[in-house]
């Protein structure tokens, strides 16, 4: 059979060299723990071809996953809503993640749990695909430099709008992040740390991979999921901690003008935890880190210590 080997040009060959996996990284794939190099996926998997799949990002502290039941519930809800049968039970996946976190040579880290549609024909029809591939990566995570966490991050409002919830339910945590990646590229070009996305009504949706909270006239506010926000697990925890500690809080739409007039702005996410925002489009936020942020950050750290 005729073959067509093509060698990448020298400069490109350098670029395409596989990135070395952190030797401490642990992997599990389709029922077995394996070496990272052996965790491979077919190029015919619809997760690869179309971003057809779902995932979760989970943190562990002191070798113990945080809020693992919430993450597993969201994973199964996401998978159900796009009809991907997960070939493992919630308990089986939880047990694997607990065991990997215990084995990790680092006490605090990150778990990525991914479910893809599986192998299918080249067309995007999901019928006939499967079984789903399931894999887990346990790795170290350094989201933001400590400096940024202390003094806040600079952000822009991206010109890329968040995909309308009527086009794609933001509660489905799918593998398809191109919308968010485009916004991140805008942030990179603007030389700032992160991008904030508005929806097509010009109301606040979320950040690239974090929910957004503001403090406006003394009230803590975050947008509803219907405005294009993921139902973040950290968001839910922060809302609960705020309520329990008597901070006035609200889930309601936030216009661009209200966002820019906020006394405090901060981001929440499993990976990000809580990050104060210093500026938006070059405009300084009056309090960074502000008193509400600082109270909630202390409560969140205490919450992690209680849970893990």
Ligand X SMILES: Cc1ncc(COP(=O)(O)O)c(C=O)c1O
- Single out the catalytic residue among 9, 173, 184, 283: 173
Closer CB to ligand X, 132 or 209, in the complex? 209
End-to-end CA distance of the chain: 58
Residue 60, classed as helix, strand or coil, is strand
Residue 143 Cβ, how far from ligand X at the closest point, in Å? Answer: 11
Closer CB to ligand X, 28 or 213, in the complex? 213
CA gap 27, 100 in Å, rounded: 8
Residue 16 Cβ, how far from ligand X at the closest point, in Å? Answer: 27
Q: Is 9 in the active site?
A: no
When asked if residue 269 is in the footprint of ligand X (CB under 6 A), the reply is: yes
Residue 292 Cβ, how far from ligand X at the closest point, in Å? Answer: 18
User: What's CA 146's distance to the chain center, in Å?
Assistant: 19
CA gap 181, 194 in Å, rounded: 11
Residue 158, classed as helix, strand or coil, is coil
CA gap 47, 112 in Å, rounded: 15
Closer CB to ligand X, 58 or 292, in the complex? 58
Q: Which residues contact 159 (CB under 8 A, 6 or more apart)?
A: 186
* Residues in 41-80 at the binding interface with ligand X, rule: CB under 6 A: 57
Q: Phi and psi dihedrals of 67, rounded to 5?
A: 50, 45
Six-digit token pair at 66? 């945080």
Identify the residue among 186, 210, 264, 273 touching ligand X (CB under 6 A). Answer: 210
Identify the residue among 199, 211, 222, 297 touching ligand X (CB under 6 A). Answer: 211
When asked if residue 270 is in the footprint of ligand X (CB under 6 A), the reply is: yes
Residue 58 Cβ, how far from ligand X at the closest point, in Å? Answer: 8
Among the listed residues 136, 140, 260, 272, the one whose alpha carbon sits nearest the alpha carbon of residue 208: 272
Closer CB to ligand X, 70 or 256, in the complex? 70
Among the listed residues 115, 87, 92, the one whose alpha carbon sits nearest the alpha carbon of residue 173: 115
Identify the residue among 199, 235, 262, 290 touching ligand X (CB under 6 A). Answer: 235
Which residues contact ligand X by CB under 6 A? 57, 180, 206, 209-211, 230, 232-235, 268-270
Active site members: 173
């Amino acid at each position: 059979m005729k073959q067509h080997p093509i060698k990448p040009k020298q400069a490109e060959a350098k670029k395409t060299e596989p990135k070395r996996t952190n030797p401490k990284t642990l992997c599990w794939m389709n029922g077995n723990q394996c070496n990272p190099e052996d965790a491979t996926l077919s190029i015919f998997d619809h997760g690869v071809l179309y971003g057809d799949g779902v995932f979760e990002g989970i943190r562990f502290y002191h070798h113990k996953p945080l809020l693992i039941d919430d993450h597993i519930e969201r994973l199964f809800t996401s998978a159900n809503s796009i009809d991907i049968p997960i070939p493992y039970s919630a308990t089986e996946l939880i047990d694997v993640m607990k065991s990997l976190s215990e084995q990790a040579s680092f006490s605090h880290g990150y778990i990525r749990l991914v479910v893809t549609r599986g192998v299918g024909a080249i067309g995007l029809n999901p019928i006939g695909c499967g079984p789903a591939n399931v894999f887990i990566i346990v790795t170290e995570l350094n989201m933001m430099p400590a400096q940024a966490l202390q003094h806040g991050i600079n952000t822009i409002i991206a010109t890329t709008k968040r995909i309308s919830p009527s086009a794609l339910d933001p509660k489905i945590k799918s593998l398809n992040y191109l919308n968010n990646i485009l916004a991140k590229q805008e942030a990179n070009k603007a030389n700032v740390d992160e991008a904030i996305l508005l929806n097509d009504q010009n109301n606040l949706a979320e950040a690239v991979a974090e929910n957004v909270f503001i403090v406006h006239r003394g009230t803590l506010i975050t947008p509803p999921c219907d405005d294009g926000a993921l139902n973040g697990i950290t968001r839910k925890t922060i809302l609960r901690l705020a309520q329990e500690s008597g901070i006035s809080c609200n889930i309601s739409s936030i216009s661009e003008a209200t966002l820019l007039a906020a006394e405090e702005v901060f981001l929440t996410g499993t990976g990000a935890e809580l990050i104060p925002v210093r500026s938006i489009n070059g405009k300084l936020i009056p309090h960074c880190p502000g008193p509400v942020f600082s109270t909630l950050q202390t409560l969140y750290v205490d919450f992690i210590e209680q849970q893990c």
